[in-house]
Structure 1
Amino acid sequence: MSDIEVRHLSKSFDLKGVKVEALKDINLSIKPGDIYGIIGMSGAGKSTLVRCLNFLERPTEGEVLVGGKDLSTLTEKELRKQRQEIAMIFQHFNLLMQKNVIDNICFPLLLRGEKKADARRRAMELLKLVDLEEKANAYPSQLSGGQKQRVAIARALASDPKILLCDEATSALDPQTTASILALLKDINEKFGITIVIITHQMAVIREICKHVAILNHGVLVEEGEVEEIFNHPKSEAARELILGDISENQWNGETRQKERVLEDKCLRIVFTENSAFEPVIANMILKFGVPVNILKADTKNVGGIAKGEMILGLPEGHELQEQIKAYMVEKGLEIEEVTQYV
């Protein structure tokens, strides 16, 4: 059984008499205990989709089943109860600025009718979990961004949810803090088996923590599957853009002039597997064919805890020679993909 099943979901809005289709016929299945990523650029429909998962937005068409329950069949009272099992954290933390840390965490517990002493005891347990015990009496204005997000995570866990929705939860954080928050979420997933859905536009976040990913583009689900498989073999143009866009400017050899020249070359993206990483494949290839190959970019990325080597090569001219080089790399166990049009 899936924790979340989305069937033929569409969502449209009426903006000043103009119909805007935010989501179009989305189908996906999220298994219990998974860390599932939903990624796309701005305007792809990610946040609309995550709000449909707990019916903060009601789909125009289609179904959302959570734990086998069709949310559209629930009364408002039943829906409120169901939402207690679906917690949510946000990009801007949404903490109560006039309350201190422990009172922020106690707040949802007190709303549920728990005694204050029990709520505070539970809040301290959660602060220990997120490594913020010493900040119990601090106010949000006294915390860093990462500390605020840890408080938001503790508050979200207060209701013992089965599902945690994270809507751009690391977008406002620096890379080091992002890594610590992702490590915390991964630890929570492993300790408690909570299903986590990550909404992001950052491929690095997907690579670091997610097991499966859905890629949205203009409201359409264009690709879905295991993160490692999509990283190795992206099928859609949107997936290729997200993977290749995960390249910082200082990873390119040369200035803008060289990158403009690359547009005219045939380029290949190659991914090293564990078996191929220990052999000097590129050096051997150059020796074998006796021609230079331009290494435009080389990097190592963490994909689900596994280091993956990645390169973009500019191949020499000549179709027959290019095909021979490609066949050689495949023979040596490299994953290859032409990226000429994008690069």
Structure 2
Amino acid sequence: MGLPIIQINNVTKSFETKDSRVEALKGISLEINRGDIYGIIGMSGAGKSTLVRCLNFLEKPTEGTVLIEGQDLSSCSDKELRKVRNSVAMIFQHFNLLMQRTVLDNVCFSLEILGMKKKEAREKALGILKIVDLEEKANAYPAQLSGGQKQRVAIARSLAMDPKILLCDEATSALDPTTTRSILALLKEINQKYGITIVIITHEMGVVQEICSHVAIIEQGELAETGTVEEVFSSPKSKAAKKLVFRGERKYSLMKSKRCIRIVFTENSSFEPVIANMVLECRASVNILLADTQDVGGTARGQMVLQLPEDEQIAEKMIQYLKDRNLAVEELDDYVE
């Protein structure tokens, strides 16, 4: 494998205010390989949008370096930086369309700036609108479109530049769940068909689970955890990761006097009879505090949180019973807010 297409080395970004200095990013280091769909996730204010703006130098890091295809952006001339930016497209939560231009003209706009002839630009734009399934809306105006259609126009406009990298900053946050799934499916298709590396910035773990192969978790400007989506979902190590994995689930109370465990299973693991058999084997009941199944990168992944009996010997026997059946078992020692 060659060099990663994106290398972030010890990036720090500070902002000066009237009374203080705010560090939005603190020594972030990441590598993103060509062709990946890479998620960067964190709660509001974590610094993830600042990080993505450093990837195309809309924000220049205070310290550290960003390399695109091995080229250090901090050492680029203005001309070289413009060339790099042409290969790094970006879409946003609120679409940023030109409201007085038709869908077709919105897609043509960036091509016109590059000096492409009008006829050639229109032909290319129509071809791209076909890719995003909007060719019938070519002459419509943004005000006549749904939120999902507007985002498809934004994606089409970004594809017009023939980018190698597509940055998506909360691109589905303003959309309903059904439309979100359709946009994510489109991005996945674009990644697979054209080999474009996609970086997804989001606060929603469901988005990462749906489309990403790898994920970085940012908390308070620091890198809390990285790994494959499967690894992070199955065995979150940092407190930030645990918050995101459990966020949006039915809340469960972990009592200090009782042990609670989280079991992770795949579509090949039938956990229901295992739990029933465990109860029969150990002759003790458990409380099921949470149980659900989610799609993680196209594979069904589930989790269950059990409250074990107070008897330590029985609890240990249950944990060993589950481990003997190749289930991932994690002890939970506190309540995840």
Q: Report TM bin, short chain.
A: over 0.9
Pick from 301, 314, 323: which aligns with 2:307?
A: 314
Moved more, 276-285 or 180-189: 276-285
Identical-pair percentage: 63
Bigger mean CA deviation after superposition, 314-323 or 270-279: 270-279
Structure 2 contact 266–299 (Cα < 8 Å) conserved:
no
Output the aligned Cα RMSD.
1.4
- Given the two structures, how large is their TM-score scaled by the length of structure 2? 0.96
Tell me, in whole angstroms, the C-alpha distance in 2 between the residues paired with 1:158 and 1:261. 52
Unaligned runs of 5+ in 2: none
Q: Distance in 2 between matches of 1:17 and 1:62?
A: 25
State the one-letter code of the partner of 1:148. K
**Is residue 324 of structure 1 aligned with residue 283 of structure 2?**
no
Q: Partner of 1:183 in structure 2?
A: 185
State which drifts further: 328-337 or 146-155: 328-337
Letter in 2 for 1:277: S
Question: For residue 207 of structure 1, what is the aligned residue in structure 2?
Answer: 209
Rounded to whole Å, the distance in 1 between the matches of 2:178 and 2:266 is: 27
**Partner of residue 281 from structure 1, selected from 250, 271, 274:** 274
Asked if the contact 1:91–1:170 (Cα under 8 Å) also holds between the matched residues in 2, the reply is: yes
Residues 1:6 and 2:8 aligned together: yes
Secondary structure at the aligned position of 1:77 is classed as helix
* TM-score after normalising by structure 1: 0.94
Contact 2:13–2:63 under 8 Å retained in 1: yes
Q: Secondary structure at the match of 1:327?
A: helix
Residue 81 (structure 1) shift? 1.4
**Residues 19-98 of structure 1 mapped to structure 2, 5 A cutoff:** 19-98=21-100
How far residue 278 of structure 1 moved from its aligned partner, in angstroms, is 6.8
Partners of 2:32 and 2:121 in 1: CA distance: 31
The answer to whether the Cα contact below 8 Å between 2:216 and 2:226 also exists between their aligned partners in 1 is yes
Q: 1:278 to 1:220 in 2, by over 3 A?
A: closer
Report deviation, 1:264.
5.8
For residues 260 and 221 of structure 1, the distance between their equivalents in structure 2, rounded to whole angstroms, comes to: 28
- Counterparts of 1:157 and 1:114, CA distance in 2: 15
Q: Within 5 Å, which residues of 2 pair with 1:200-279? A: 200-247=202-249, 249=250, 259-260=252-253, 265-277=258-270
* Alignment check: 8 A CA contact 2:254 2:335 kept: no
Q: Could you tell me how far apart the structure 1 residues matched to 2:135 and 2:269 are?
A: 46
Aligned to 2:285: 292
Residue correspondences, number: 334
Q: Which moved more, 1:152-161 or 1:279-288?
A: 279-288
Counterpart CA distance in 2 for 1:55 and 1:324 is: 55
| One-letter identity of the residue aligned with 1:108 | S
Is residue 305 from structure 1 mapped to residue 307 from structure 2 by the alignment?
no
Deviation at 1:51, TM superposition (A): 0.2
Q: Which region of structure 1 is more displaced relative to structure 2, 313-322 or 200-209?
A: 313-322
- Per-residue CA deviations over 1:99-134 (Å, capped at 9, x if unaligned) read 110000000000000011111111111110000111
CA distance in 2, matches of 1:194, 1:137: 28
CA-CA distance at 1:319 after TM superposition: 2.2
3-state SS in 1 of match to 2:236: coil
SS at match of 1:106: helix
> For the Cα contact (< 8 Å) 2:190–2:196, is it kept in 1?
yes
